[in-house]
Structure 1
Amino acid sequence: MEQAVHTMAHHKRPYADYQAKNFLWQVSEDGKVATITLNRPERKNPLTFDSYAELRDLFRGLVYATDIKAVVITGAGGNFCSGGDVHEIIGPLTEMTMPQLLDFTRMTGDLVKAMRACPQPIVAAVDGICAGAGAMIALASDLRVGTAQARTAFLFTRVGLAGADMGACTLLPRMIGQGRASELLYTGRAMTADEGMAWGFFNALHPSDAVLTAADKLARQLADGPTFAHGITKKLLHQEWNMGVDEAIEAEAEAQAICMQTQDFRRAYDAFVAKQKPVFQGD
């Protein structure tokens, strides 16, 4: 009797048929690019306890997705996300015990951790209001495209809380610098689109009717690239903040040696020799 060959494939599954309950989930025809749309436009797409938890669990699950190679996250109706819903989250929080509050704050932080840990690059398409937890979702994404109307506010202090929320005090200074981050986190004021572009928060600005198309195009470019290698890049962009220079260089040496064993590396070489464009498959 032949012994079964284990490939670890039984731990993974496609996510094209994922049925979202608290937002919209759409996947391209080839199954490679997924779009998450926060879909409560009448209230500027606020988050609820359930949408926080579902987004966290979805990004955790994408680690095991066999099909999704890049993710776009956006909001419906001309706004990205207004943060936690005042009536469905803020109100109930005022009645909770400290252990219950800690369960909540850890859950919101776990969403950011899950976004950073999934191998797929995440592209945020930001229009209009992008505030509180919405600003953190945009910040936790790998790339951000915005519009002239985008207003990004880490407004936690405006509801009597610290600017330290969901990793803001570590992620925002890395993105825009300590001094600028300090101003935004202390004052809670909105960062304009032009400031976001000049300070490195946004990768590009587009008209409102073109920003989602631009995000899709960028995600498609990434999904058609060497996606295994993109996952390595994402991991080391995150991890190397905690390394010294020598440790980072060694980590990259090991990572690149791993990537040199992939079929995509061979495909790129063969295509170069044949004067053709490589067709990457992510393996």
Structure 2
Amino acid sequence: MSGFDPASYAPDHFAFAFADRVATVTLNRPERKNPLTFESYAELRDLFRALVYAPAVRAVVVTGAGGNFCSGGDVHEIIGPLTKMTMPELLAFTRMTGDLVKAMRGCPQPVVAAVDGVCAGAGAIMAMASDIRFATPAAKTAFLFTRVGLAGADMGACAILPRIIGQGRAAELLYSGRSFSAEEGERWGFYNRVCAADALAGEAAAYAKMLASGPTFAHGMTKNQLNMEWALPIETAIEAEAQAQAICMQTKDFERAYHAFVAKQKPVFEGD
């Protein structure tokens, strides 16, 4: 998709707002704790893919309405139909859900998850796939796939979660499917910050605005390297970072930062 205009974007299956160079995605089926459907999975995937072509968007906040983040796949609209599908249909579905994670990781903008209440299944995966995670004390997070007879290996969980909280902790959560508290999540490094429920939206927005005011080309490079270097030996990673940093040194933002430092001023970054 090219020419994506966040100011006119109007999705069908979630809420979207754009202000101060920050896009806010709100899962908004609060009466069901914001579960995902086949359609919302696909529309979210397409949005994050489109953000590659949206330089006006410099950061993204993902949150849920009504005091919950996301309860995962809708039991009636997804789980029930899955029990009647053929293997090719099932594989098409699981690849599609995995594509949402790829799209979230692949967009250059930092993604901030603002989590309150239930954050389960695919909701926990969306939080995991974000770059930064804020939670309220009421957040209850669970990779609950084994509790419905499935593997903990879902949408990249076995690859990504151990890199956030460690292999042993990830294994315990993915085998048991148990929920963990915001305090435990912050202690383990899953959540970057725990804040009061009435402050969650404001703190997530403020953090996203801070990112949006930074050197966004360089932020995109940082995100790319964080993704790419998982599979690189240290020697190759250091060389990749040397090349990435040399590219950033050619940007106008780098020059702006130098002149601002010399003038004892705060740099104003433009993302170029």
Q: TM (normalized to structure 2)? A: 0.99
RMSD: 1.0
CA drift of 1:12 comes to: 3.9
Q: Give distance in 2, aligned partners of 1:191 and 1:114.
A: 26
Find the partner of 2:245 among 240, 251, 256: 256
In the alignment, does 2:13 pair up with 1:22?
yes
The CA deviation string for residues 54-75 of structure 1, in whole angstroms up to 9 with x for no partner, is: 0000000100013100000000
1:98-147 deviation digits (Å, cap 9, x = unpaired):
00000000000000000000000000000000000000000000000001
Does 2:60 match 1:71?
A: yes
Once the two structures are TM-superposed, the CA of residue 14 in structure 1 deviates from its matched residue by 2.9
Q: Which residue of 2 aligns with 1:43?
A: 32
The question of 1:232 aligning with 2:221 is answered: yes
Give the length in aligned residue pairs.
Answer: 272
Q: Which amino acid aligns with 1:25?
A: F
Q: Say whether 1:209 aligns with 2:194.
A: no
- In structure 2, what is the equivalent of residue 96 of structure 1? 85
Counterpart of 2:22 in structure 1 is 33
Tell me how far apart the structure 2 counterparts of residues 259 and 41 of structure 1 sit (CA, whole Å). 42
What residue is the counterpart of 2:150 in the other structure? 161
The separation in 2 between residues aligned to 1:232 and 1:173, in whole angstroms, is: 23
Q: Distance in 1 between matches of 2:125 and 2:196?
A: 22
C-alpha distance in 2, partners of 1:209/1:99?
A: 45
**1:192 corresponds to which residue?**
181
3-state SS in 2 of match to 1:191? strand
Question: Which ranges in structure 2 are unaligned for 5 or more consecutive residues?
Answer: none
Moved over 4 A (4+): none
Identity %: 69
**Residue of structure 1 in register with 2:232 after alignment:** 243
Aligned to 2:254: 265
Call closer, same or farther: CA 1:11–1:128 in 2, change over 3 Å. Answer: closer
CA distance in 2, matches of 1:172, 1:273: 42
Q: 1:134 aligns with which of 120, 123, 133?
A: 123
Unmatched segments (≥5 aa) in structure 1: 1-9
Contact 1:39–1:75 (CA<8 Å) still a contact in 2? yes
Q: Look up the match of 1:59.
A: 48
Please give the alpha-carbon distance, in whole angstroms, between the structure 2 residues aligned to 1:92 and 1:157.
Answer: 19
| Counterpart-to-counterpart distance in 1, 2:7 and 2:212 | 14
What amino acid is aligned across from residue 212 of structure 1 in structure 2? A
Select the residue among 98, 104, 112 that pairs with 1:109: 98
**Equivalents in 1 of 2:259, 2:162: separation in Å?**
42
State the 1:11 CA deviation: 4.6
**Which whole-Å CA distance do the structure 1 matches of 2:3 and 2:189 have between them?**
35
Q: Contact 2:22–2:60 (CA<8 Å) still a contact in 1? A: yes
Residues 1:271 and 1:66: Cα distance change in structure 2 (over 3 Å): same
Cα distance, 1:249 vs structure 2: 0.3
- Structure 2 Cα separation of the partners of residues 43 and 14 of structure 1: 30
Q: Which letter does structure 1 place at the counterpart of 2:15?
A: L
Query: What is the DSSP-based 3-state SS (H/G/I as helix, E as strand, rest coil) of the residue aligned with 1:21?
Result: coil
TM-score (norm: length of structure 1): 0.95
Instruction: Please say if residues 4 and 50 of structure 2, whose CA atoms lie closer than 8 Å, have aligned partners that are also in contact.
Output: no
1:277 is the counterpart of 2:260: no
